[in-house]
Structure 1
Amino acid sequence: MSRKLSWGAAVALVAVTASVTVSLTYVYAMKSFNTKVADINERQAMYTKLSEIDQKTRQDYIGSVNEKELNDGICAGYAAGLGNSQAKYLSAEKYKAYLNGSSEKSIGVGIKTVQDKDGNMEVIEVTPGSPAEKSGIKKGDTIVSMDDKEIVRLTYGDALNKLDGAAGSKVKFGILRRQNAAGPSAEAKAALLSITVTRAEYAEQTLTSSMINGNVAYLKISAFTDSNAEQFNNMLAARIKQGASGIVIDLRSNSGGSIRGMAEMLDTLLPAGNTVSYRDKAGKTTVQYTSGPNTVNLPISVMINRNTFGVAEIFAADIKDYKKGLLVGERTAGLGTKDEVKPLSDGSAIILPVADYLTLNGDVFSGKGIGVDIEKELTSEQQALLVRNQLKGDQDPQLQAAVSALIRQGASVEKAPGTENAPVNSNAAATE
């Protein structure tokens, strides 16, 4: 009798378990279904609204509709609506230019500018060998117009975009050049020049080095490229051969760039281990790059600021997390996403952040930035000089703090920090 009851209980238990399983599966399925239906309804509402706008525009708009520009504008608006500054839509033309510009060389004019107090473009750097240099544009020139349109009417951002373009295309600059008249009491005079530049391919200068404070190797990296790791290694080896007792790496205002080039530089500096990892939408962590066992056994200081972006932040974080050196300056920008270009069927593309880069400890730094070991800020006047590559070593508290940090790590520096008069200038610094 009891045996029959136990078999019956077992059957009942199986039935109940199956029922619960089916119920849970049903609940999950319904929840998933409802989510999908909600997504479909939301997308349908978006399409309906867009169709309504299109219908009313074509019915009553007094202007003409350029279908291509309209489609590109809609797609750009979608990317902007994601609320992520890294998400961008590229028209077919811009995507083609992007592919051309992703090589080691750029196509355009070859200058760097800042916006002056009048809204014009002050030239702070002319790339050696660039079309701008060959056409006679000089550091310190002020661009007041492009193709006979005033910069203040174009807006500074639009003017920046017009510096690059197809090889062989021309751009006409209206340039204000200040010249000192002869004589001790003479006042500076300004001449308005017209210079036409033919856009062409040129190699950007992203890495320079010099010896400061007698025996400190100073390396400035403005951006990482696929090939400048070899140049970095050669420069560093030359400085070590000269007797460098410590290394200062300047990543201030580094715009990021090639993850591979950055990882290859870390391979020179760090011991064996992971250097670049990211976590995707599904929560999967992938190790993208590692370093080998060889390392440089010298104290290192890395200078960073609020304009240090992307892969440069990974570089700084790894130096800090491996306890290979000290970070000096200000917290970085906090743009630590892995972005991928997704080509579209009509030749255009969309750039989407698809994963978060991680620190060695597995932390996401996007939106937060990388903190420093030694905090040191510049005044607004010092920052203006730094941007223009005119800040001298004895006027740069971040550089002085970086050299002092080497001493804290055991470096024997020949001269006291701040005694160097040479400007921290990517153009003026001696290179190997």
Structure 2
Amino acid sequence: MQVPVEPVVDKEAEFKKKLTRRYLFGMLTGVLATIVLLAGVVIGFLFVGSRNGRVLQNTAQSSELLSDPVVQKLEKLNAIIDAYYYKTDVDYDQRADGLYKGLMESLGDPYSVYYTEEELIELRNDTQGIYYGIGAYVSMDTSLNLPRISGVMEGTPAEEAGLMANDIIYEINKESTAGLTLEEVVGKIKGEQGTTVHLTLVRDGEADYVELDVMRRQVEVPTVSTKLLDDGIGYIRITEFDTVTADQFKEGMAELRAHNIKGLILDLRGNPGGSLDTVVNIGDQLLPKGKIVYTKDRNGEGEEYYSSGEHELDIPLVVLVDQYSASASEILAGAIKDYQIGTLVGVTTYGKGIVQSILDLKDGTAVKLTVSSYYSPNGINIHGVGIEPDIVCEFDSEAYAADKTDSQLDKGIEVLKELIDN
């Protein structure tokens, strides 16, 4: 990123001030939801299954939770609702789901959630790389606690409608996104094929809101994309680690290798994470022989994941990261940094060093529960801290909006050329 010769206004600070004023104005309509919803940031998760069928055992604590006074109070609350609530067409299944969700929210962990049958089906479809939506990646802006577009897929309704990376989603169908979790935001954006969703956006450089109608349709998520750059440089981007990603990555690398590339840029910006098995598989395609990552649970026990070293990368590597590179992205970036086989360029990553498991409740529903912490090969846990890049480079959003200039990619290319020459 070039240093300006003359003094300039801190445009990012000004933008945040402008958005904060708008946010406070809209907060009045969303304050009740903010009170009852768990505040926090959810960017992704490590889908590691059900812990090999581990049986959930009753404990003294769980017995206390279901003691007679608690059950009696629940019954009393139900009776009050039945007697006095102004509506009579109460959905009892929805009421029960609310109890289950509330129990998970009481943990104070934004990554531990209860999934209804419908939500579990959507989750499984997402991890298979197919869903009905608009074709945009959404994450939470950590400073504003509002959803933002972290990437737009090519050839999708999002691209056709004009959505741009870093757009802040202020409203969905004229309803404020204040206080919503990431999963709730995504749920409101998704919908039946052929229907539209109206998004109210705050875009850097725009004086007023940007209003867009986006058509929903089936989207097959291309989690890996590749291209050849000048001077024999290969570029491969991973947008998330789904079950389809490992095969897509191998195919992409084979295509680039066929052109005898001299160096590789691996783009993990905006990648929220995904499958632990997938990131380990991809790590095996790049890393030397040794540990990729290991986990520790509440008892200090865990699992270790290794690279065979059979596919160790033998050309210079630059990894692009940003504040939205999280979870599985940080596992891969952290291992590359620990083994010193690549140079990280960008800004400090998100800092999600914990692992979630999907635990099947055997009735069509499930819970996602944080079960352990993960550590890089050198024993580093980056939760709440993130991974610092070797070379710091901020993303120039105004330049990108003006003419698609990608300041971080340009810096990555510059660094990689120096590595190739040396």
TM-score in terms of structure 2 length: 0.68
Distance 1:320 1:347 in 2: 41
Structure 1 residues 354 and 241, CA gap change in structure 2 (3 angstroms)? same
Write out aligned runs for 1:345-356 (5 A): 345-356=362-373
RCO (CA 8 Å, sep 6+): is it higher in 1 or 2? 2
Q: 1:80 aligned to 2:105?
A: yes
Alpha-carbon distance between aligned partners in 2 of 1:90 and 1:152, rounded to the nearest angstrom: 23
Q: For the residues of structure 2 that align with 1:300 and 1:193, how far apart are their CA atoms? A: 39
What SS class does the counterpart of residue 380 from structure 2 fall into? coil
Partner of 1:186: none
CA 1:49 to 1:291, structure 2 compared with 1: closer, same or farther past 3 Å? Answer: farther
Structure 2: distance between partners of 1:278 and 1:288: 9
Measure the CA separation in 2 of the matches of 1:391 and 1:367: 31
Match 1:62 to one of 68, 71, 86: 86
1:96 to 2:121 alignment: yes
Residue 392 of structure 1 aligns to which amino acid in structure 2? Answer: T
Query: Equivalent residue for 1:172?
Result: 196
> Matched residues in 1 for 2:311 and 2:148: separation?
45
User: How much has 1:214 moved relative to structure 2?
Assistant: 2.2
Q: What runs of 5+ residues in structure 2 fail to find an aligned partner?
A: 1-58, 141-145, 201-210
CA distance in 2 between counterparts of 1:174 and 1:293 reads: 49
**What's the counterpart of residue 187 of structure 1?**
none
Classify 1:392/1:59 alpha carbon distance in 2 versus 1 (closer, same or farther; 3 Å). Answer: same
Is the alpha carbon distance of 1:137 and 1:287 closer, same or farther for their aligned partners in structure 2, counting shifts above 3 Å? Answer: same
Cα distance in structure 2, aligned partners of 1:302 and 1:121:
23
Aligned pair in 2 of structure 1 residues 306, 384: CA closer, same or farther (>3 Å)?
Answer: farther
Q: Which has the larger radius of gyration?
A: 1
For 1:175 and 1:343, the matched residues in 2 are separated by 34
1:403 Cα shift?
3.2
Of stretches 261-270 and 74-83 in structure 1, the one that deviates more from structure 2 is 261-270
Over 3 Å counting, the alpha-carbon distance change for 1:159 and 1:269 in structure 2 is closer
Instruction: Work out the percentage of aligned pairs sharing the same amino acid.
Output: 24
Q: Check if 1:411 corresponds to 2:406.
A: no
2:333 to 291, 310, 316: 316
Q: How does 1:351-430 map to 2 (within 5 A)?
A: 351-378=368-395, 382-383=396-397, 391-393=404-406, 396=407, 398-407=408-417, 410-412=419-421
Determine the structure 2 residue equivalent to 1:224.
241
Where does residue 290 of structure 2 map in the other structure?
273
- Per the TM alignment, residue 254 of structure 1 is displaced from its structure 2 partner at its CA by 0.8
RMSD: 4.0
Q: What is the aligned partner in structure 1 of residue 187 from structure 2?
A: 161
Call closer, same or farther: CA 1:284–1:37 in 2, change over 3 Å: closer
Using a 3 Å threshold, how does the CA distance of structure 1 residues 234 and 199 change in structure 2: closer, same or farther? Answer: closer
Count of matched residue positions in the alignment of Structure 1 and Structure 2:
347
Structure 1 residue aligned with 2:152, among 125, 141, 147? 125
Alpha-carbon spacing, 1:99–1:322, altered in 2? closer, same or farther (3 Å): same
The Cα of 1:247 is off from its aligned counterpart by 1.5
Q: TM-score, normalised by structure 1?
A: 0.67
Could you say which residue in structure 2 is the equivalent of 1:420? none
Change (3 A) 1:131 1:267: same
Shift of 1:356: 1.3
Return the alpha-carbon distance in structure 2 between the equivalents of residues 120 and 304 of structure 1: 19
Letter of the 1:96 partner, please give it. I
- Contact residue 92 and residue 347 of structure 1 kept, 8 A: yes
Q: Which runs of 5+ in 1 are unaligned?
A: 1-35, 177-191, 414-432
SS at match of 2:152: strand
Q: In structure 2, how many angstroms separate the alpha carbons of the residues matched to 1:363 and 1:336?
A: 9
